[in-house]
Amino acid sequence: MSPSRYLTAAFYKFVDLPDYAERKPALLAFCESRQVKGLILLAREGINSTIAGAPDDVHAVLAYLRADPRLADLQHKESFADKAPFYRMKVRLKKEIVTMQVDGISPTHMAGTYVKPEDWNALISDPDVVVVDTRNDYEVEIGTFAGALNPHIKSFSALPAWVQQAEPLRPRAGRKPKVAMFCTGGIRCEKSTAYMRAQGYEEVYHLEGGILKYLENIAPENSLWRGECFVFDERVSVGHGLVPGHHGLCRACRQPLEDGATDSPLYEAGVSCPRCHAHTSAAQKNSARERQRQWELAKMRQQVHIGAVLPKPVAD
């Protein structure tokens, strides 16, 4: 395969899959037969994935999935890379394809109203609309929409607790406010808007296609986006036109490096950064040092090192 011909496809769909566990062996075997690598999450509530490989092979996997009538309208996002983004293929069974840890939330039946990127600016510029960034704090840190609320959460499962105590979301004159929510690719805001509707919020909206679709479609001069968008792959962050940004990645915690992080005494390539240094033990750091050493040796020998941490699906 020639360089720059690795196609990455990110996709998700909330759909009832009662047979999700039975689907795993055949799906994994098909991906491996096409030499496609990456990660597919399967749950009763649907599918969430990022895969990569030769374009024909990736499209073959997508066609295989869409042969199931329940996934016939599965949509995906594409990007190309000059090196293999993933080194293994994994199909994992999960309770949820995006973890909220709240029972009874079904985006299939009760997600909020989709808003196209071209209509998003008008919605979030309305002073009566509360705009909520549903992503983790390290993602919000490098970019968000002007005027959006930052819940300062460490994981998506912490969002419901924040909603319950957030002052801007409390009823006004006996009526709950309009809410607009957004995330990277759409999956978290579909589930969060379903949660909001379950809590009695009647007017709930979310950005169709997420931040990535907005950055792809909206010109910088017309944009209300500020900064860059963190992505769960080797690009680390992107800007308008989905052009790769300037942020580096800590290989230990898989989070973007803060400005000046590499100058900190707490930074060690592949081992720690100022954000995660205090949260790993000496044994974990030593293990990371060995992994980094093996990665550097493989790079020097122009070999593939398969011990790398498999990234989360780009569709978040």
3-state SS assignment for residue 100: coil
Give the side-chain half-sphere CA count within 13 A for 210.
26
Residue 220, Cβ neighbours under 10 Å: how many?
Answer: 10
For the question of residue 250 being annotated catalytic, the response is no
Give the side-chain half-sphere CA count within 13 A for 53.
20
Q: What are 149-158's contacts with CB under 8 Å, separation 24+?
A: 155/99, 156/98, 156/99, 156/100, 156/188, 156/191, 156/192, 157/99, 157/100, 157/101
Rounded Cα–Cα distance for residues 290 and 219 (Å): 44
Rounded Cα–Cα distance for residues 146 and 182 (Å): 12
Rounded Cα–Cα distance for residues 54 and 80 (Å): 10
Q: Is the dihedral of CA 230, 157, 183, 43 positive or negative?
A: positive
- The single residue of 183, 189, 229, 250 carrying the catalytic annotation is 183
E-state strands within 22-81: 37-43, 46-53, 76-81
3-state SS assignment for residue 1: coil
Rounded Cα–Cα distance for residues 164 and 56 (Å): 47
- Residues recognised as catalytic: 183
